[in-house]
Structure 1
């Protein structure tokens, strides 16, 4: 009798597990997309509504539950001012939003996770001090007063959700890769050699990223072993003036078990006018990456996704990861070298083919196309950074960020698109 009861009990558990697996892998109703995220008002400045948005700087799928996603903000609403930026809401904390597509096909927020320092205190989007990942930017308040710095501040741009419930986030300051607990508490901060955070390191050359053009995209390989990050634009290697190959940017990989890094070259289409933004994995070697410019879709904006493959590309780390200018060709940094010189040296960039042009395919209107998640079966989830609904008026003040085609304030929106 005990054996029969035990068998029945085990069968009930197995059936329950199977039911859970089925519910987690059922078809998701994406027919109501595109759809805006739900937002409240964060502040009103100079008569301009700053929305509690910004979700879409980076995006990732829940690692086990189909139809659930995480999107992340950047450092918060800001505009250009003098030799830096105005942080319009200095107390803003970079935040992760966990949401799902519910049974009705609507976006349903599950929870918000604010990022915190190792002591569990909320961080800000203020720049890091010198030695901790500073970009040289000065942060000002909305009134023009000089603000301080934050040792743990982050200009977060991408997010990865791991199977253990933790998150990996990359940013544009250090650039840093930061490991957060499920509750958003910092566990580890990985920065270039020479930046005074953590013990595991990225190549020193990455610290020469342009201000506000750091590690814009990051994903994890499907085997869970490696992070893959994209630098947004040509770095200032060896200096801003001498970095003349404006179509060259870098991809870096980080082995989570060993800490080993590799670097690969990526050839952009549009040079410094374009940005390489988010990246999402198809396999352990094949990925999708965003290339975009800063214009709205209806104003001739470039919003494209490319398939890339690392398997035949050259590792351009060189023999010394601590070298501040990285590998050199004939005494010149890679960013100083032409593509002909790079080819003659036997170095190959990653291969790339167009997967989708969002403006041609969808009439995509948003300017900051910054988040993608590969869903399988050649379907892609697409997200935008709405900049909290504000733009720069050219005089260091905010104005409403308006989509020229619709005349509406820009808001974070999720799309689904088929790719080649």
Structure 2
């Protein structure tokens, strides 16, 4: 009888363990992703010189709902724009950076739950216009579609990535300050964290991060599974100490921010390519392991690089240095890290994060989009993938918009969600 009871208890325990393992490793068993890839629903937001500007852009960054499987948040950047003189034409100047909350419904289709427009601390809608000097300015001048100079926005954001916190709030990173901004569930700004020397709040990022290049700020942001630390990726090599003197074109930085204490760390990331390549979104596997996007600006069918790497920061060196107010950051033999070769960095005892290829989207999916910018790890070695469609327009070379066409299909580029298996 004792042996029978013991056997029954062991069997029950083993069954419970297996059920628990299934719930951990198969996070997607109740979600129907079979109808992906699938485009987001869009309408025309404006027509400029006969060119339709869609209400797109959703996919600059992405995050999973913290508790509900199959639900996601995707965010736009600062809005539809083209290059013009010493800045940008903002084709819809009053555009507000927006979060779209969506789900995969029972039929396997994308369904929009709601849109959350970002607001300043007073609850007024912000724009994507640049910040003024002293509050995160990149030096870019804003123009309207006709080339008239626009103003600035103290709370303007070139949003690029998003974190959905357990308490319903959001953390958003951008390319101006670079800022990390904490928003309420309704999109109202609660706190703005910027580099030392940028006048937006009391809690600070290392001063050197203000050396980001225009339009190459904090492109990725995620939160560790324990909910304690934000992890942000700078898009490309920064101009430290200056544009003409920064030479290590494959070096970029990862910064961590302890939410409770405000303490920061910095780690180095070695890109495969050079100054034209980008490290984009980041998503957590554990408190020390992450997946990051590395891409160039070409379309997938035109030799574009669209890869995801698994990185580990546990063996990497913290390069914050002893003084995070130093505008050029830690130096080696009088040179900034961006001036130093990887050999010089290694000789000084500093190690970058380790990285291994998780998936090549071009070879795996025949991925066509150019701006592969959002990822969410779903568990069970599945990854949700999102693109920034640039609101369906690109620059015609003269500061005016033209339709953004995918060269392989001949269709206008639109925000699309994929799910792909990774190594």
User: TM-score surpassing 0.5?
Assistant: yes
Q: Residue 342 of structure 2: which of 303, 314, 339 is its match? A: 339
Deviation sequence 1:52-82 (CA, Å, 0-9, x none): 0100000000000000000000000000000
Aligned to 1:123: 126
Aligned to 1:100: 103
1:41 aligns with 2:40: no
Deviation sequence 1:270-324 (CA, Å, 0-9, x none): 1112100000000000000000000000000000000000000000000000000
C-alpha separation in 2, matches of 1:344 and 1:245: 16
C-alpha separation in 1, matches of 2:231 and 2:342: 23
C-alpha separation in 1, matches of 2:94 and 2:247: 38
C-alpha separation in 1, matches of 2:169 and 2:30: 26
Aligned to 1:363: 366
Q: Is the Cα contact below 8 Å between 2:255 and 2:265 reproduced in 1? A: yes
Q: Residue 295 of structure 1: which of 298, 301, 309 is its match? A: 298
Aligned to 1:6: none
1:225 aligns with 2:201: no
Matched residue SS, 1:272: coil
C-alpha separation in 2, matches of 1:293 and 1:159: 21
1:393-404, aligned counterparts within 5 Å? 393-404=396-407
1:80 aligns with 2:83: yes
Matched residue SS, 1:341: helix
Deviation sequence 1:383-412 (CA, Å, 0-9, x none): 000000000000010000000000000000
C-alpha separation in 2, matches of 1:240 and 1:268: 19
How many residue pairs match? The answer is 399
C-alpha separation in 1, matches of 2:110 and 2:275: 35
1:134-283, aligned counterparts within 5 Å? 134-283=137-286
Cα displacement (A) at 1:27: 1.3
Deviation sequence 1:122-178 (CA, Å, 0-9, x none): 000000000000000000000000000000000000000000000000000000000
Cα displacement (A) at 1:25: 7.4
Structure 1, gaps ≥5 residues long: 1-22
C-alpha separation in 1, matches of 2:225 and 2:114: 25
Structure 2, gaps ≥5 residues long: 1-22
Runs of 4+ in 1 over 2 A off after TM superposition: 23-26
Q: Residue 321 of structure 1: which of 321, 324, 333 is its match? A: 324
Q: Is the Cα contact below 8 Å between 1:296 and 1:365 reproduced in 2? A: yes
Aligned to 1:11: none
| Aligned residues: CA RMSD | 1.1
Do the aligned partners of residues 241 and 110 (structure 1) sit closer, same or farther apart at CA in structure 2, a change above 3 Å counting?
same
Q: Is the Cα contact below 8 Å between 2:131 and 2:152 reproduced in 1? A: yes
1:58 aligns with 2:61: yes
C-alpha separation in 2, matches of 1:272 and 1:378: 30
C-alpha separation in 1, matches of 2:276 and 2:72: 30
1:310 aligns with 2:313: yes
Q: Is the Cα contact below 8 Å between 1:25 and 1:65 reproduced in 2? A: no
Q: Is the Cα contact below 8 Å between 2:28 and 2:379 reproduced in 1? A: no
C-alpha separation in 2, matches of 1:226 and 1:245: 28
C-alpha separation in 2, matches of 1:25 and 1:210: 39
Cα displacement (A) at 1:103: 0.3
Aligned to 1:71: 74
C-alpha separation in 2, matches of 1:26 and 1:392: 42
